[in-house]
Amino acid sequence: MWPFPIQRKPGIRILLHFLFWTVYLLINVLTIKRFYPNEPMITLIGQMSFTLPVDIIATYFTAYFLLPRYVYSRRFLKLVLIFLPSAAGFILLQRVLLLYFEYPVFRPDYKPVPFWNINWLYSFTNIYMVVFAVSLVKMLQFTLKQQRDARVLDKERIEAELKFLKAQVHPHFLFNTLNNLYALTLDKSDQAPEVVLKLSDLLNYMLYECNEPYMLISKEVQLINNYLELERIRYGKDLDLKFRVEGDTAGKRIAPMLLLPFIENAFKHGVSKVRKQAFVNIGLEVIEKELIFKVSNSKVPAPGADLSGYSEGIGLRNVKRRLELMYPGNFRLDISDSDQVFEISLHISLIVANDR
């Protein structure tokens, strides 16, 4: 009945219920006192106390039995079939207490009336005003709890999904990088040790540093630079690679490993298939609390080229979903796919990440 968390302590809960019914009794007594000003307060309290148990039983029966079993589960027909007979039973019980207990004690000169001479509407209203008031509070409490539980479940679902998506990003990224290392070792390149060192830095970031929901943009820029150095080693002079960072990134944060999949996509589905005169242009700019990230790359124009998954690979699907979860309504992703160039433009509001 009481909507606050304090009710979870049984002793305090019982005390609150007792206080509620005491206040309810006093309100009824003060209301009756207006019609019987000469009647002593103690007499009115005694009179009202005789029928108070009916109000209490009807209230707890409705709020704690009928509501949970039939209202919350939307079994309204059964509710009506039980509610109407129970209401009639409480009215008759109140009638018994009035005629055979209250009146003989407090009104011995009261002229007896037939038992079945009942004003059903008045009696129903007299009992069920408090029943409906308490039931309304219980339903409100139930609704608020449902909303609170839904928010908790939704938060847990989002966190679980984000962890799953990040778990997919890491193996996908490692798979591409290890492929690069494998190609160098086959060629017995002197650059293989440098690749191992860069890969070690990348693994350190992924395993130990990017476990927070948001990371400094400067850290992500360092990650991108390390990845690009690996790709420069792999492609050498065959690749025209540019990466520029503009604006004030100091203290600004972003979801970790969010930008790299776009760059991976540019190499995996673009540069790796073009080889000659391949290019990748990457731009990252921060304007106040907005991040603008653009990646454009060359692609194979020849008919019949295998471009499956170019714009819907695992990496891009994951990053799109992460954007929807972490920046709902605070990002815009534009994709341009022409015969020779693939380009993405991502705008992210950093308010969510930097107002934490």
pLDDT band at 308 (very low <50, low <70, confident <90, very high): very low
How much is the pLDDT for 3? 47
- Segment of 115-119, 236-240, 288-292, 323-327 carrying the highest mean pLDDT: 288-292
Number of Cα atoms under 13 Å in the Cβ half of residue 327: 24
CB atoms within 10 A of CB 292: 16
pLDDT attached to residue 173: 59
- Which single residue is written with the structure tokens 């970031």? 205
* pLDDT over 60 at 330, yes or no: yes
User: Does residue 70 surpass a pLDDT of 70?
Assistant: yes
Confidence of residue 141 (pLDDT cuts 50, 70, 90): confident
Q: What's residue 19's pLDDT?
A: 93
CA–CA gap between residue 24 and residue 71 (Å, rounded): 25
161 band by pLDDT with thresholds 50, 70 and 90 = low
Greatest alpha-carbon span in the chain = 116
Pair of tokens at residue 356: 């934490």
pLDDT category at 310 given cuts 50, 70, 90 is very low
Instruction: Please list the residues that pair with 348 across neighbouring strands.
Output: 291, 331
**In whole angstroms, what is the distance from residue 113 CA to residue 118 CA?**
10
Between 154 and 236, name the one with better pLDDT.
236
Q: What is the DSSP letter of 252?
A: -
Residue with tokens 């890969």: 199
Distance CA 299, CA 281 (A): 13
> What is the token pair recorded at 212?
């927070």
Whether 326 contacts 255, CB under 8 Å = yes
> Pairing between strand 239-247 and 278-287?
parallel
Residue 280: pLDDT band (50, 70, 90) is very high
Which one-letter amino acid corresponds to residue 268?
A: K
Spatial contact of 199 and 177, defined as CB atoms under 8 Å apart: yes
Cβ contact 210:256 at 8 Å: yes
Specify whether the CB–CB gap between 266 and 297 falls below 8 A.
yes
Residue 2 predicted with pLDDT over 50: no
- Amino acid in the structure at residue 27: I
Higher pLDDT, 10 or 272: 10
Q: In degrees, to the nearest 5, what angle opens at C-alpha 317 toward C-alphas 207 and 263?
A: 65
Beta bridge partners of 341: 298
Q: Which of 346, 197, 179, 326 shows the shortest CA–CA distance to 260? A: 346
pLDDT at residue 13, rounded to an integer: 85
CATH architecture of 160-354: 2-Layer Sandwich (3.30)
In this predicted model, what pLDDT tens digit does every residue of 166-211 receive, in sequence order?
Answer: 555 556 556 766 776 777 777 776 777 777 777 777 777 766 677 7
pLDDT confidence of residue 36: 79
- Contacts of 353 by beta carbon, 8 Å cutoff, 6+ apart: 214, 252, 253, 254, 255
DSSP-derived secondary structure letter, 69 = I
Identify the pLDDT of residue 115.
82
Mean pLDDT of the chain: 81
Render pLDDT for 243-272 as a digit per residue (tens, 0 to 9): 999 999 888 999 888 898 888 888 877 776
**Which pLDDT band, with edges at 50, 70 and 90, does 91 fall under?**
very high
Report residue 355's pLDDT band, with 50, 70 and 90 as the boundaries. Answer: low
> Phi-psi category of 286—alpha, beta or left, where left has phi over 0 and alpha has psi -120 to 50?
beta
For a pLDDT cut of 90, what percent of the chain falls above it? 25
3-state secondary structure of 134: helix
Q: Give me the sign of the Cα torsion angle 217, 316, 335, 309.
A: positive
Of 2 and 238, more confident: 238
Within 10 angstroms of residue 120's Cβ, the number of other Cβ atoms is 10
Rounded Cα–Cα distance for residues 287 and 216 (Å): 15
Beta bridge partner(s), residue 347: 292, 332
What Rg, from alpha-carbon coordinates, does the chain have?
Answer: 37
The structure tokens listed for 263 are 């760059």
- CA nearest 161: which of 288, 322, 339? 322
What is the reported pLDDT for 299? Answer: 82
**pTM, rounded to two decimals:** 0.54
Which range is least confidently modeled, 32-46, 150-164, 193-207, 319-333?
A: 150-164
User: Which stretch, 41-50, 122-131, 292-301, has highest mean pLDDT?
Assistant: 122-131
